[in-house]
Amino acid sequence: MTNLSALAAALRACVGPGIGVGVADPRGVSAPLFPEEAEATRKMVEKRHREFAAGRAAARAAMAELSLPPMAITMGSDRAPVWPKGLCGSISHCAGAAVAVVAPLDQAATLGIDIEEATPLEMDLWPEILTQVEQDWLMRQPEATRGRHAKTIFSAKEAVYKAQYPLTGRMLGFGDITIKLNPPDFHASLAFGSASLPDMITGHILWIESFVTGVSDPIRLVPEGNAETQSLCR
């Protein structure tokens, strides 16, 4: 049985104070939803409904860590979470776990998290997901580690996408994000510039239990309107 408590503890140690962390299990009975959340699930198949509900449960657990009451997290027309006023956050789920991070806007303008099963990324997917720079780097790594590194890059890209989207509204492809790994850290550069984003987005990768999790560092907006990131991982 996967130890989700270990996953939560590792994430909590990474993000540090001021950011709530929540973990939930999507494999059991669906967690209760607020009516406005339930409305968004009417056409979902059972598996997707459980994952959606677990993601919201994880987000409310993260809110509780910040001493906040349970609140609804609805879904926008773009299917992204709509966070309660004054909060930002990110939700992700895979077959065995749902995770969420939540912060007040005075702590972060946006966050990004992704969770995947800790299996190697199939080689035939590499050209679709990895940039040429990333593929060249991968081929310099020991052959036995390449699939794991490729999955790590994939998870980092997903976390970065989720972090940038609330500030830019841009739908990115995998080729728009280039990841430089320095485990357990990563640096991400984007194929476009934006005053809403730092020149480089940083983050961290955790391999815990049967999961790989990418977490972006919080992006903060400074008074001049430029963005900066600050690592909170210990």
| Residue stretches of the annotated binding site | 48, 56, 92-93, 114-116, 158, 162, 172
DSSP string, 197-217: S-SSEEEEEEEETTEEEEEEP
Helix (H, G, I), strand (E, B) or coil at 66: coil
List binding-site positions for CoA. 48, 56, 92-93, 114, 158, 162, 172
List binding-site positions for Mg(2+). 114-116
Dihedral sign computed on CA atoms, order 81, 1, 121, 21: positive
Our CA angle for 88, 98, 56, nearest 5°, is: 50
- Which strands make up the sheet holding 177-182, listed edge to edge? 113-117, 211-216, 201-208, 185-190, 177-182
Dihedrals phi, psi of 220, to nearest 5 degrees: -115, 150
Our CA angle for 60, 88, 149, nearest 5°, is: 90
140 vs 49: CA distance, rounded Å: 41
Neighbours of 161 (CB within 10 A): 22
